[in-house]
Chain A
Amino acid sequence: MAELWLQFVLTIDATLRVATPLILCAMAGIFSERSGIIDISLEGKMLLSAFTAASVAALYGSPFLALGCAVIVSMLFSLLHGFACITHRGNQVISGLAINILASGLTVTVGIAIFAQGGQTPFLMSEQRFSAITLPFAETARHIPVFGTIYAEVISGHNLLVWIALLSVVITGYVLFRTTFGLRLRAVGEKPEAVDTAGISVTLMRYQAVLIAGFLCGIAGAYLSIAHGAGFVREMTAGKGYIALAAMIFGHWRPVPALLACLMFGFLEAIAARLQGVEVPFLGPMPTDLILVLPYVLTVILLAGFIGRAVPPRSIGQPYIKER
């Protein structure tokens, strides 16, 4: 029983670790899409920033510098997305897709050019990474039943970026619904002409939104390569950006529901990892591939309106054209 409890607590702990990049990307997606810009380039920006973070950490040793550079690179690609979709009124899906494919090619090409390790970066030492922060009394608390295990395993022992991810949910909620900036941002995604005639630049609002999205994606990428992992591996985002997009839709473009969706999807991944190779009576080995595909299946079912309806911001995907 105690063993099962520990297994459960460890799965919850893993859930949080797996969900961290999803949460950051989902918040990024919320900012972008609430302003009316579809962002399927979460995946690509995360990949680029994961690569940047690992490279800078490997070359200069400072995880904070690495994080900073990752964020800047991600924001630069947000600018590119904005340049295509806002300034040149390009198709937002196509632009996002271009960035994703570009990211796949660019990370490997530059990676080989710098490190000559087939597109990987060197293994990072612990001082080059964000390491786990053990909270006070975690070791002593471990022996207290229930709460103690939760404190020691789930709450303590996470790195800084996990906490930043959770904080980002609070900040996103506050900014969107409690500030003037948030009011304008939401308005621009619903009815840009109303914002324009009220004397606010739609272009500027949307650029700000995509830049914030880039900022958050950058942290997510850095988390993958210099906090959760210890270096960059090609295609290391492995569809996480798309899962985050799914979580955002699942959460109806709202921060807290999106957080819950991220945790649910993270839990599925964590549990699939735990069940790997476990024999199920009559079925043989656990079909973990099928557990991993659940987020996608659930999102399809949600979008089809079989479990509630996901209504996106009204003007999403449409470039704002003022003059006829």
Chain B
Amino acid sequence: MLRYVALRVLIALVLVWLVSTLVFLVLHLVPGDPAELLLSAGNTAPDPEAVAQLRSQMGLDRPVLAQYAAYIADLTHLDFGVSLRDQNPIAPELALRLPRTLELILAAAVIASLIGVPLGTLAAMRDGGWSEKLVSLLASAALSTPVFVVGTTLVLVFAQWLGWISAGGYVPLAEDPLRHLSLLAMPAVTIALPLTAVMIRMTRASVLEVLEKDHVRTARAKGLARGPIIRRHVVRNALVPVITVLGLEMGTLIGGTVLVEYVFNWPGLSGYLVRAVEARDYPEVVGIVLVISFLFVLLNLLIDITYAVLDPRVKLAK
């Protein structure tokens, strides 16, 4: 187990490095002068003086390799540079906002797992019945409705019409726990919705497959009741592929937070990102994209480890 985890951590670190390099390269691979591109809007040529200033500010006037070395060196100290807009260092802002986004993602993953796994199992057990058809239909609908449509509709119904919850905002947990949770509810549910649909579909397919396995017949031959068979010998085994999909969907999930934080005014990384992109503040965008990508890699690492805990055979494989 220790060797397996060590290997996974190593792979994660390599991924972090690769992603950082890719993000660095994007700016330099785009044809044209980066500073000019960043300052151009529409067809008007940017002011040459501003271009020169931006170039020295971002260090673009140095050789590319030197820029890369400095960039990586800064990253190892978690130094993400300063914002172009107000010259404030970016790292503290990231540190402040990261936990809020993380909270949203985890809440959504928990909601999706708690609803998706039982419903998917039910759909598989009642395959072909009306309850399976209903669940599958709901899953298809949830998967096809964009998160910002769902979010906006929730605001319209629960905040505008019914007046049950505020339309959005954020209060720190320590300040007012109840209000914090009530503000968390809508964005978390919104992000969870498409993920729940994916979990339902995956769990259903996986459970159907496991039900055909010989070891389920053995469990029946032991005289176990339906409940223990489903819990210990079907769902437990079916979870392994579902966890993998959860990992693959993490990207969409994190992408979803960008839209949802915007809809609900949740002051996480993503609202910050939207403003940074609007202002075309490249260092800020890079910082946020990197942090979210690292988070993505970290979540996948956690999933790999969960995977090994669920299926002991995984530890042996490379």
Indicate, yes or no, whether A interacts with B.
no
- Please report B residues at the A interface, Cβ cutoff 8 Å: none
